[in-house]
Structure 1
Amino acid sequence: MLSPDNTQVEIEAELLPHNATYKELIWKVTNDAGVDSNGAVIEDGEVSEVPYIVKKVLKAVGDGKHNVRCCTRNGREKISLISQISLTAEGLGMAEFNPYEFVYGTLYTSAEVEPAVGQDRGIVPKGGTYIAFEKVNFGKNGSDEITLPVYELNNKPFPIQIWKGIPGQDGAELVDTVIYDLPSIWATYQEKTYKLPERFKGVCTVSFVADHDINIKGFSFKKYERAYDINYAVDNDGIYGDTYTLGADSITNIGNNVALTYNDMNFTDGMHKITICGRSVLEKNTIHVRFANEEGTENRIAEFIMPHTVESGDGYVEQSFELENIEGSYSVNLVFLPGCNFDLKWFRFE
């Protein structure tokens, strides 16, 4: 039994015979339906050659039964042999879903009416009732683009409601009603991607309601790379300093030596420009843009000059600054020097 005091266990597989030609082993954790589980992860351990024994570490991150499968192809294209052990975890709570990887329908956590089993690890919710996936972790930046693989036979356009929260419960919000209008193909899921009017952010519940019985294989969201996405001031990972005011979508009155930190900025394609959306009662604010990782710190400077006339009603303006190129993974700090008085809404790298 795995628990908060004992979240991991070592597992080993011995290959027989010891002189087997094919030594490749494939590991996965599934639920009883054979769907990859989000409640536990497998990490590498030691490997000994004689006899050939592979050790792995199972780490539980959520409650439930976790089936550890060790598989081999034996030189074939498909799995030819599966060995399985099952472990149970309690007291850890519900595991989180990663919406940027495909979430199968059979992993649903709540339903108004228990759905029927669909094709290929999908489900068939009863028309007019919700199916919910709780503790979906979208991270700081979130996403507003969802892909739904659906199979149904009416061959007519129909609506699917997408909710943040569980319909009928306090705080639930209908994010959008999308129309699925692809022509039916027998026994075939077809994907359709939708741009939603707002982003899902942080950890929340995603629910779906269709007007009639349909097969839903699951869902996935587009992952926006934080390094190249719009980063709102309020979505920082840390703020240091005494002079600032937190707002709903901006940080205002930023003064002397205030620093905003944004982690996990991976500039895989490099970075040569920053665009800042801000405003100030001062003519000029000097902002240091610092990139830090294990190898050290690099500094760039943006001099934000307020124009004499501002067209936007709220006074915010966008200004872009060419910066010396940088590549790799960093934490980014926006540091406001003494003498600043700045309101920051967002910034974006290019």
Structure 2
Amino acid sequence: MAYDEQDKVIAREVRHSFKEAVKLCLNPDKTEILTDGRDLIFVTITAQDANGYPVENANNRVQVHVSGAGRLVGMDNGDSTDYDAYKGNSRRMFNGKLLAVIMADTTAGEIILTATSQGMIEAQCVLYAMASETEEGISFAAYGLCEKEQTQLEMENIFVRKIELFCETGTQLNENNSYARIHAKICPDNASDQNLIFTLVDEAGISSNLAALGVDGNCAQITAKADGAFWLRCMSKCGQDHIEIISQLGFTITGLGTAYINPYEFVCGGQYQYCKGDVGNGNEKGVATARDGETQVGYTNLDFGSFGSDEITVPIFALDDAPCPIQIWEGMPGEVGSILVADVVYQKPTKWNVYQPETWKLNKRLTGITSLCFVLRQKIHIKGFLFIRKNRAFEKLLACTCDHVYGDSFTVTDVGIDKIGNNVTVEFENLDFKEDGISAIKICGWTPLARQAIHIRFQTPEGERRQLVEFLHTKEVQEISFPLACVTGIQNVSFVFLPGSQFDFQWFQFVRS
């Protein structure tokens, strides 16, 4: 209701909830049309339920037939994603409406318009063609539908109109109520496509990791994993090759702790938790930086694991071919402990609206739970990023990064373990040599002895194997390769130094078979 300044009602509008559509309705903008070859009647086709209320989201396919002194010249529903031809006699309603355009023939008389749809009461209206002079040069045949543009009603495919979601246990999840079962009801019941697609997303429509999702027919089961808000989306393709109908139900989780992001799976640009400057939505769930000034886009709670990675791939769409400087920070710039880990330039021939990936190596390996921030000063679209998971077993490993070291005498430094003496063992756990295994090892170090024996022990729950290498004396620190018998699978590796040893151990690297 609308009121004027004296609180008098000046307008009233009533809308009702509605059920399934059972009948069609026709509402022409006028009932008389001239036979001049230019005049048109626009007929709005709607649907009503059994109570006579408009079904405002009806999407039934309607077939229109015109007889008498007129013809159908086209139909439209206002749906920009509907690729059915305007010149046709069958089309779907969109948001409960469809428009039919009628033109008179050359003679006066009645025009009868009939609209039909599967399972619904048809509608009919009578229009009148009034005699009029025809402008020279106008062809009536040019506007009517040709035979190939007239189709029979598609009786076999009834579209899903909506999906109703019901959750009896509520949408507030916590430690004591961490499970929810959601039932999806397809409307109408006799929709042709009964298949549903479920997914969990955040407010930007990006996949969420806050809960685990299980699907059993038209039911979804949600198990809460971490705190935050997310939405359960239920979708139908209605027999098409793309999503047509989406329903969603929001959930909130509290009391379960923080959700960490896996940087070894693609992280969408739109998942940022921190920003500074003018940040916009990018193509394909990405993020767009500003044209002018500095933009910072940050991602927190990234879990790199104990070994981590220093190699990142970023798909970028730049608006031109100009070089684009990009800074990558661990932590947010200006915060205590933040470090600039890459100062790079992106430059590729632009392809409009196409992301092109670029891979960079950071100046340090990111490990554990940390954060990442991109800093730019020109406009680009960042689709997201992906870190390359490193297999610790095949990387160059500093001796000082061992899991355990023990023995009579040794000194741990920033670059290795020096002055290794009697009965020292340096251990690295859970090195995965995969199925192909290893064939050699590179060791970097130095010994004052003519020969330094190093026993390499490979241990699994099934037993252990030992291999011996001898590191020869050199004037300075040296890298030496040694062949090994093939070792495969997950192994705990120990470097064992017996009594009488004297060795400075900097790093080693296993060589794949």
User: Shared fold by TM > 0.5?
Assistant: yes
1:215 corresponds to 2:360? no
Of the three residues 322, 327, 334, the one matched with 2:494 is 334
C-alpha displacement at 1:132, in angstroms? Answer: 0.9
**Does structure 2 conserve the Cα–Cα contact (< 8 Å) formed by 1:166 and 1:207?**
yes
**Does structure 2 conserve the Cα–Cα contact (< 8 Å) formed by 1:30 and 1:67?**
yes
- Letter matched to residue 455 of structure 2: I
- Letter matched to residue 436 of structure 2: D
Of the three residues 9, 17, 31, the one matched with 2:202 is 31
Higher alpha-carbon deviation: 111-120 or 238-247? 238-247
**Does structure 1 conserve the Cα–Cα contact (< 8 Å) formed by 2:397 and 2:508?**
yes
- Letter matched to residue 167 of structure 1: P
Distance in 1 of aligned mates of 2:465 and 2:223: 41
Task: Flag the 1:115–1:337 CA change in 2: closer, same or farther, 3 A.
Answer: same
**Does structure 1 conserve the Cα–Cα contact (< 8 Å) formed by 2:319 and 2:379?**
no
Task: Flag the 1:38–1:301 CA change in 2: closer, same or farther, 3 A.
Answer: same
C-alpha displacement at 1:158, in angstroms? Answer: 1.9
Higher alpha-carbon deviation: 145-154 or 160-169? 145-154
Aligned to 1:273: 440
- Letter matched to residue 269 of structure 2: G
- Letter matched to residue 443 of structure 2: I
Distance in 1 of aligned mates of 2:249 and 2:452: 65
Aligned to 1:125: 289
Give the SS at the match of 2:206. Answer: coil
1:263 corresponds to 2:417? no
C-alpha displacement at 1:114, in angstroms? Answer: 5.7
TM-score normalised by the chain length of structure 1: 0.79
Distance in 2 of aligned mates of 1:347 and 1:110: 39
1:284 corresponds to 2:444? no
Between 1 and 2, higher relative CO (CA 8 Å, sep ≥ 6) is seen in 1
Distance in 1 of aligned mates of 2:380 and 2:306: 32
C-alpha displacement at 1:200, in angstroms? Answer: 2.7
C-alpha displacement at 1:287, in angstroms? Answer: 2.1
Per-residue displacement from partner, 1:23-57 (whole Å, max 9, x unpaired)?
Answer: 99866432122212244445x79x7xxxx687856
1:87 corresponds to 2:241? no
Distance in 2 of aligned mates of 1:347 and 1:6: 49
Give the SS at the match of 1:333. Answer: strand
- Letter matched to residue 325 of structure 1: C
1:310 corresponds to 2:475? yes
Higher alpha-carbon deviation: 159-168 or 107-116? 107-116
Give the SS at the match of 2:436. Answer: strand
Distance in 2 of aligned mates of 1:7 and 1:336: 52
Task: Flag the 1:209–1:24 CA change in 2: closer, same or farther, 3 A.
Answer: same
- Letter matched to residue 202 of structure 2: N
Task: Flag the 1:12–1:186 CA change in 2: closer, same or farther, 3 A.
Answer: same
**Does structure 1 conserve the Cα–Cα contact (< 8 Å) formed by 2:452 and 2:502?**
no
Task: Flag the 1:209–1:291 CA change in 2: closer, same or farther, 3 A.
Answer: same
1:246 corresponds to 2:412? yes
Give the SS at the match of 2:487. Answer: strand
Of the three residues 325, 346, 355, the one matched with 1:180 is 346
Task: Flag the 1:25–1:268 CA change in 2: closer, same or farther, 3 A.
Answer: farther
- Letter matched to residue 343 of structure 1: D
Q: Calculate percent identity across the aligned residue pairs.
A: 32
Task: Flag the 1:55–1:121 CA change in 2: closer, same or farther, 3 A.
Answer: closer
Of the three residues 266, 279, 301, the one matched with 1:102 is 266
Per-residue displacement from partner, 1:294-315 (whole Å, max 9, x unpaired)?
Answer: xx133131323232x234xxx3
Distance in 1 of aligned mates of 2:330 and 2:412: 25
C-alpha displacement at 1:196, in angstroms? Answer: 3.3
Aligned to 2:507: 346
Give the SS at the match of 1:268. Answer: coil
Alignment gaps of 5+ in structure 2: 1-171, 187-191
Task: Flag the 1:179–1:119 CA change in 2: closer, same or farther, 3 A.
Answer: same
**Does structure 2 conserve the Cα–Cα contact (< 8 Å) formed by 1:175 and 1:198?**
yes
Aligned to 2:179: 9
**Does structure 2 conserve the Cα–Cα contact (< 8 Å) formed by 1:2 and 1:60?**
no
Give the SS at the match of 2:393. Answer: helix
**Does structure 2 conserve the Cα–Cα contact (< 8 Å) formed by 1:7 and 1:60?**
no
Task: Flag the 1:58–1:242 CA change in 2: closer, same or farther, 3 A.
Answer: farther
Task: Flag the 1:291–1:12 CA change in 2: closer, same or farther, 3 A.
Answer: farther
1:141 corresponds to 2:307? yes
Give the SS at the match of 2:434. Answer: strand
Task: Flag the 1:55–1:122 CA change in 2: closer, same or farther, 3 A.
Answer: closer
Give the SS at the match of 1:120. Answer: helix
C-alpha displacement at 1:103, in angstroms? Answer: 0.9
Per-residue displacement from partner, 1:269-308 (whole Å, max 9, x unpaired)?
Answer: 2222222223334432332321325xx133131323232x
Aligned to 1:65: 229
More strand by share: 1
Higher alpha-carbon deviation: 140-149 or 158-167? 140-149
Task: Flag the 1:349–1:189 CA change in 2: closer, same or farther, 3 A.
Answer: same
Distance in 2 of aligned mates of 1:22 and 1:306: 74
Distance in 2 of aligned mates of 1:232 and 1:26: 48
Task: Flag the 1:337–1:204 CA change in 2: closer, same or farther, 3 A.
Answer: same
Per-residue displacement from partner, 1:104-123 (whole Å, max 9, x unpaired)?
Answer: 11111111236211211111
**Does structure 1 conserve the Cα–Cα contact (< 8 Å) formed by 2:211 and 2:222?**
no
Aligned pairs for 1:157-168 (under 5 A) are 157-168=323-334
Aligned to 1:169: 335
Alignment gaps of 5+ in structure 1: none
Per-residue displacement from partner, 1:200-227 (whole Å, max 9, x unpaired)?
Answer: 3333221111112322111112222222
**Does structure 2 conserve the Cα–Cα contact (< 8 Å) formed by 1:151 and 1:216?**
yes
Give the SS at the match of 1:267. Answer: coil
Distance in 2 of aligned mates of 1:123 and 1:9: 33
